[in-house]
C-alpha cells in the first residue's frame, strides 16, 4: 500500500523513518504529475520543493508552528500533506483547489500569496504579533532565490533583526550553478554552528567577555567580526550576517534527513536564522529538469513525454501576437528596447531577446524598478517597451505615476493577462485599468485583432508619450468583417450598424458583443457595436451621438468601477440619453476557476447579457 494513502496531516509523517519519507516524496511527485498533467498548473517549482516541504512539516509542529510560502505556487506538497490530497485533484477547476495558499481554504495556509517577495515581511509580522502576545511557536518563511531580487524581500530582511529574535527563513535556491558549494567544508562548518554545545559555548564566552570592565563590549564586537570574517570566507552568507541574521548553508534540499536535523537544531537559536537550501527545479521529471522555465506554469500535458496538449483552437494568442509585433517594432526602430520582470517567456519577449540580445533587459522580480529603469532609459533617448502581466503591473503603479506620467516620458507598457485568468484573485488583471485611467499624460489602448497589435504598437511609438496597451491571455477569435482604412488616435470603431442598442465592448469582448447582437437580432432588436479601442483618450463625441438615440451597453473584462462603465457614466451624467447598462466585474472578489466557468457564474455571457438587455427594453 502506498505510504501516501495513510497520510492525511503532518502529524502522520512524524513517525515515519527517513527511508519511508523518501518513498513518500516519490509518491507525492507522482501525484503532482498526475494532477498537473490533467489540469495544468505550476509543475517545476513544486517538484523541486517536495523534499523540503516534507522536512519542514516533519521538523516543525504545524499548524501551531506557522509556515509562510513566498509566491506560494510551490505549495502543492504542502496542500497534499495538510488534508487536501484529494481536493488537489480539482486544481484549476471551478470551485476547486486554489493553486496558491489561501487562508479561507485551510488553517495550515497561514498567509495567502500569489505575488513574489511577501514571505519575509508577512512572516515578520506574524513573529512580531507572536512576541507581543508572549507566545513561543515558530514562524518560518520560505522564499525562492528569485524573490530576493524583489524590493519587498530586501526591505523585510533589513527589519528582521530589529524586530524579533525568533524567526526562520528558508532560502530555496534552485540555481544549479552554486550546487558545488554543498561540499565537505561547508557541511562541516554548518554541522559545527548548528550544534547545541557550540551555541551554548559561544553564548557563554560572549557573556563572560561582556562582563570585562570597559573593554567588554568592544571585545564582543571583535569576536563577532572574527567569526563573521572566517565564515564569510567559507560560505556565501555574509550578506545575511551583516543584517543580523545567522546563516546556515548551503545544504542539499533533497536530503530529507539532513534538512530535518538542521531544522530541529536551529529551533533553539536565540537569533533569526537563514537556512540556504539548494533544490533542483523539476526534480524527478526529466523534461522539467531540462526545461524548468517551460514547465513553470502550463496547461494539460503528456506525463510521459512532457509534450503540451494543444488546445482545439490553433489561433495565435495575444501574447504570441505581441511577441511578433514588438520584434517588428524593434527591427524598424533601433532605439526600441524591451524590458521584463522575470517573465521573458510568459510575455513573449524571448523572441525579441533572441534577435536583439543587447537591447533586452530582464530585471528579475522587481516591477517597480523595471518601471523606473524604463523611465530613465526614455529620459536619455531610448524607447522602452515594458512587457508585464497586468496583475504584477499593479505593484508598480506609484512608479508609473511618479516617474513616467509626471515627466511625460515615452514608455510603452504592455499589460499581458488583462482580465480574469484561471489562477484566481491574486492574478486577475481587472484592477489596473481603473488605477491607470486616473493618471495624467497616459493613454490606454485595447487591441482586439492580430492586425491591431502591430498597428497600435506603432501608434504608441509615434505618440512619443506614456502608453499602456492591455490585452488578455486568450487566443484571437478572428478579425473584423472589414479592415478599417485608418486608425485615428482617440477614435472608436463602428463594427456594426444598429438602431435600438449601442454596445460598447472593449478589447476581445467585441466577440461577446457580436454574439449578443446575434441573439438580440433574433428578437428583432437592432444592435450597433462600437469598439472604443482607446480607453484614454476616449471618443466622447461618438458616445454622445449614440446615447442620444440608443440604449448604451458596455461590456468589459475589468471592474465596472473605474473602467469603461465609469467613463460612460461620467460622460453622460449631464447628458440626456436613452439609458445605460453595464456588464463587467463588480467589487466582489472573483474566485479562481476556468475563465468560461467564472464568466458563466457572474453573468458575463452573451445569453445572459442579451436577456438583461431585453428585460431593460
Going by C-alpha positions, the residue among 439, 397, 440, 441 that lies closest to residue 415 is 397
- For residue 530, what are the contacts with CB-CB under 8 A and spacing of at least 6? 492, 493, 494, 495, 502, 503, 504, 505, 542, 546
Catalytic residue numbers? 281, 367, 395
The secondary element (H helix, E strand) that includes residue 395 is: none
The two beta strands, 412-416 and 551-559, are unpaired
Length, in residues, of the chain: 617
> Which three cell numbers mark 227?
567569526
Going by C-alpha positions, the residue among 591, 431, 473 that lies closest to residue 98 is 591
- For residue 116, what are the contacts with CB-CB under 8 A and spacing of at least 6? 70, 71, 144, 146, 147, 150, 153, 365
Sheet holding 551-559, edge to edge: 493-496, 527-531, 501-505, 551-559, 580-585
Q: Are 325 and 385 in contact (CB under 8 A)?
A: no
> Which three cell numbers mark 372?
523606473
196 strand-pairing partners: none
- For residue 600, what are the contacts with CB-CB under 8 A and spacing of at least 6? none
Residue 148: DSSP 8-state: G
Going by C-alpha positions, the residue among 320, 316, 317, 322 that lies closest to residue 454 is 322
Which class for 181: exposed (0-12), middle (13-18), buried (19 or more C-beta within 10 A)?
Answer: middle
Q: Are 259 and 251 in contact (CB under 8 A)?
A: yes
Q: Are 245 and 161 in contact (CB under 8 A)?
A: yes
Amino acid at each position: 500500500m502506498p505510504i501516501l494513502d495513510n497520510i492525511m496531516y503532518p502529524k502522520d509523517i512524524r513517525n515515519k523513518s527517513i527511508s519511508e519519507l523518501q518513498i513518500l516524496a516519490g509518491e507525492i511527485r507522482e501525484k503532482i504529475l498526475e494532477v498537473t498533467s490533467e489540469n495544468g498548473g505550476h509543475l517545476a517549482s513544486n517538484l523541486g520543493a517536495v523534499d523540503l516541504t516534507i522536512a519542514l512539516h516533519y521538523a516543525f509542529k504545524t499548524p501551531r508552528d506557522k509556515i509562510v510560502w513566498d509566491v506560494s505556487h510551490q505549495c502543492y506538497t504542502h496542500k497534499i500533506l495538510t488534508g487536501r490530497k484529494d481536493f488537489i485533484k480539482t486544481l484549476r477547476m471551478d470551485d476547486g483547489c486554489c493553486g496558491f495558499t489561501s487562508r479561507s481554504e485551510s488553517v495550515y495556509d497561514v498567509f495567502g500569496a500569489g505575488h513574489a517577495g511577501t514571505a519575509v515581511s508577512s512572516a515578520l509580522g506574524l513573529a512580531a504579533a507572536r512576541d507581543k502576545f508572549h507566545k513561543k511557536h515558530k514562524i518560518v518563511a520560505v522564499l525562492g532565490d528569485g524573490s530576493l531580487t524583489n524590493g519587498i524581500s530586501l526591505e523585510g530582511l533589513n527589519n528582521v533583526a530589529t524586530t524579533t529574535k525568533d524567526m526562520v527563513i528558508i532560502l530555496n535556491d534552485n540555481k544549479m550553478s552554486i550546487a558545488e558549494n554543498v561540499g565537505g567544508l561547508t557541511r562541516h562548518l554548518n554541522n559545527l554552528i548548528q550544534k547545541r554545545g557550540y551555541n551554548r559555548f559561544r553564548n557563554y564566552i560572549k557573556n563572560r567577555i561582556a562582563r570585562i570592565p570597559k573593554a567588554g563590549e568592544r571585545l564582543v564586537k571583535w569576536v563577532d567580526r572574527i567569526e563573521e570574517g572566517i565564515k564569510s570566507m567559507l560560505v556565501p552568507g555574509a550578506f545575511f550576517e551583516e543584517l543580523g541574521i545567522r546563516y546556515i548553508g548551503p545544504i542539499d534540499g533533497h536530503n530529507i534527513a539532513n534538512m530535518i536535523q538542521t531544522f530541529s537544531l536551529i529551533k533553539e537559536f536565540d537569533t533569526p536564522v537563514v537556512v540556504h537550501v539548494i533544490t533542483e527545479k523539476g526534480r524527478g521529471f526529466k523534461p522539467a529538469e531540462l526545461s524548468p522555465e517551460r514547465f513553470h506554469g502550463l496547461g494539460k500535458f503528456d506525463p510521459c513525454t512532457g509534450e503540451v496538449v494543444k488546445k482545439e483552437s490553433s489561433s495565435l494568442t495575444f501574447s504570441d501576437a505581441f511577441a511578433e509585433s514588438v520584434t517588428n517594432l524593434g527591427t524598424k526602430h533601433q532605439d526600441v528596447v524591451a524590458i521584463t520582470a522575470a517573465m521573458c517567456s510568459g510575455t513573449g519577449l524571448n523572441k525579441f531577446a533572441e534577435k536583439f540580445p543587447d537591447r533586452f533587459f530582464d530585471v528579475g522580480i522587481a516591477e517597480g524598478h523595471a518601471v523606473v529603469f524604463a523611465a530613465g532609459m526614455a529620459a536619455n533617448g531610448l524607447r522602452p517597451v515594458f512587457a508585464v502581466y497586468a496583475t504584477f503591473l499593479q505593484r508598480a503603479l506609484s512608479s508609473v505615476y511618479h516617474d513616467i506620467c509626471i515627466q511625460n516620458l515615452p514608455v510603452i507598457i504592455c499589460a499581458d493577462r488583462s482580465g480574469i485568468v484561471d489562477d484566481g484573485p491574486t492574478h486577475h488583471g481587472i484592477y489596473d485599468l481603473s488605477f491607470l485611467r486616473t493618471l495624467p499624460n497616459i493613454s490606454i489602448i485595447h487591441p482586439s485583432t492580430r492586425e491591431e497589435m502591430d498597428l497600435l504598437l506603432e501608434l504608441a511609438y509615434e505618440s512619443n508619450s506614456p502608453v499602456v496597451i492591455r490585452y488578455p491571455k486568450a487566443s484571437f477569435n478572428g478579425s473584423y468583417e472589414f479592415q478599417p482604412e485608418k486608425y485615428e488616435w482617440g477614435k472608436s470603431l463602428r463594427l456594426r450598424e444598429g438602431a435600438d442598442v449601442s454596445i460598447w465592448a472593449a478589447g476581445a469582448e467585441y466577440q461577446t458583443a457580436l454574439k449578443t447582437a446575434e441573439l438580440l437580432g433574433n428578437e428583432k432588436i437592432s444592435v450597433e457595436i462600437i469598439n472604443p479601442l482607446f480607453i484614454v483618450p476616449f471618443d466622447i463625441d461618438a458616445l454622445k451621438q449614440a446615447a442620444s438615440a440608443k440604449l448604451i451597453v458596455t461590456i468589459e473584462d475589468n471592474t465596472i468601477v473605474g473602467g469603461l462603465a465609469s467613463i460612460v457614466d461620467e460622460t453622460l451624467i449631464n447628458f440626456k440619453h436613452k439609458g445605460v447598462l453595464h456588464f463587467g466585474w463588480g467589487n466582489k472578489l472573483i474566485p479562481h476557476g476556468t475563465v468560461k466557468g467564472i464568466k458563466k457564474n457572474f453573468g458575463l455571457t452573451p445569453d445572459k447579457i442579451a436577456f438583461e438587455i431585453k428585460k431593460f427594453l
